[in-house]
Amino acid sequence: MVFTMKIRKAVIPAAGFGTRFLPQTKAMPKEMLPIVDKPVIQYVVEEAVASGIEDIIIVTGWHKRTIEDHFDYPFELISRLKEAGKEEEIEEVKRVAEMANFIYIRQKGPLGNATPVLAAKHVVGDEPFAVMWGDEFIYSQPPRLKQMMDVFEKYGKAVISGIKIEKKEDLSRYGMAELKPVSGNVSQIMRIVEKPNPNEAPSNIATHGAYILPPSIFPILENLKPGKSGELWLVDAIDELIEREPVYTVEIKNGRYFDTGNKLEYLKTVVELGLEHPEINGDFRNFLKGLKL
């Protein structure tokens, strides 16, 4: 058994422009797009908190103020809800604000998804931490991040969530890992091939979506050279980390992956979770059945 520091902090990069959803994202962050009655990023935060995370570090840009407002404590709104006798709504908005300690950082520097991780260095400090994207999440029991934490506690090294890609044609959408089996659903990552030709993918396990990283990733990020499109990419830093020390993946058990980063997958997520929503599931299901498709 390897004794390691507890994972207390999660970094959520949320500074992108969301160009795939323009013009909607001209004034609204893509992370705030609603899944019935909750924004996407709330699902991400709830997964982190359910896994034991205490500090949520959200890396934003000048156009992302509504994310901060969403997780703020809304005194005026609560006052109005009290006047209207809406106790259930009061408890929900208070719960959202009190889920964790929220810390906000404005991203500075070049584009690419490695930059927001590096921006959180002074808050993370010299301890391992999680990284989760603000526009995708996984429903699983136990939570995805908790499954990853259990692997980290055992091996004491970086861990990336693994998702089995069922359709061969989808392999070219993700970073696919070459794996060395370790134990059960845990493997060591030998390399990651970004968006490979489906016939050349080293496995059907995509390694992305959530990461547990050691503080030793920061010197790598600080010296990272621009990659594709002249931007700084986290996968390039992880490739370098793999050369220095073991990096593991855990294939998530009982997981349902929701990617809201493009229009089609976002709409699929809304429909699927709408069918499970306790207030509307019956009427919504009947509506869908009645459509003349």
User: What are 202-229's pLDDT values in tens digits?
Assistant: 998 888 889 999 999 999 999 998 887 7
**pTM: predicted TM-score of the whole model, two decimal places:** 0.91
CA angle in degrees (0–180, nearest 5) for 193-195-200: 65
Q: Quick one: pLDDT band at residue 2, thresholds 50, 70, 90?
A: low
* pLDDT of 3 higher than 80: no
Contacts of 233 (CB under 8 A, 6+ apart): 112, 113, 114, 227
Reported as a pLDDT band with limits 50, 70 and 90, residue 109 is confident
d(CA 122, CA 236): 21
Average pLDDT, the chain: 90
For residue 37, what pLDDT is reported? 92
Residue ranges and CATH numbers for the domains of the chain are: 9-157+208-261 (3.90.550.10)
Band of pLDDT at residue 158, cut at 50, 70 and 90: very high
Give the pLDDT band of residue 258 (cuts 50, 70, 90).
confident
